[in-house]
Amino acid sequence: MLSRAARSASRTLVPAPGSRGSRQKHSLPDLPYDYGALEPHISAQIMQLHHSKHHATYVNNLNAVEEKYLEALEKGELLEAIKRDFGSFDKFKEKLTAVSVGVQGSGWGWLGFNKDQGRLQIAACSNQDPLQGTTGLIPLLGIDVWEHAYYLQYKNVRPDYLKAIWNVINWENVTERYMACKK
């Protein structure tokens, strides 16, 4: 049987890397007695299984539900800002796609945050021009429209690439950027 210290170390629940905010995750509490303390009425094996597996699963599931809830709140906040500033998600998508298609030569289509106005804005930058340096907007989402980003697969049909790019955008990252720049 493991010592109390070894059992405790083996079931320590730690926050996931990149966990949001300063919320501490719930952790499995130590029992105030050894697993074998209730024998012969309840075996140490049953106590260990119930505590280290079943109870730990409940704690882990609670953390997972709270994390998803927080993500939903944050995504909801970004979505509300998109609706406020562009009318709807579809209108936002249409506008960013149109701006990105319209970049002459090489460059980027951007969703940025205007800190002074507290609003989202769409912009395009040619070549390597930085969004913040040229517009003052804080970058939230960049769409690379240099031909090297799509030419092998989409040839010179940039609109097809831009239609497909929406399927791979990391909205969690965009949301994290949005939440960080609002602070």
Binding-site residue set for Mn(2+): 50, 144, 148
What is d(CA 144, CA 159) in angstroms, rounded to the nearest whole number? 13
Please state, in angstroms and as integers, the Cα–Cα distance from residue 87 to each residue in 80, 94, 114, following that order: 10, 11, 17
What is d(CA 145, CA 178) in angstroms, rounded to the nearest whole number? 22
Find residue 111's DSSP bridge partners.
122, 141
61 alpha carbon, distance to own chain's centre = 19
What is d(CA 71, CA 67) in angstroms, rounded to the nearest whole number? 6
| Alpha helices (H) in 41-183, listed in sequence order | 44-49, 56-86, 89-101, 131-135, 151-154, 158-165, 171-182
Give the β-pairing of 138-144 and 107-114.
Answer: antiparallel
| Residues tagged in the binding site annotation | 50, 144, 148
| Residue given tokens 């040839």 in the structure block | 155
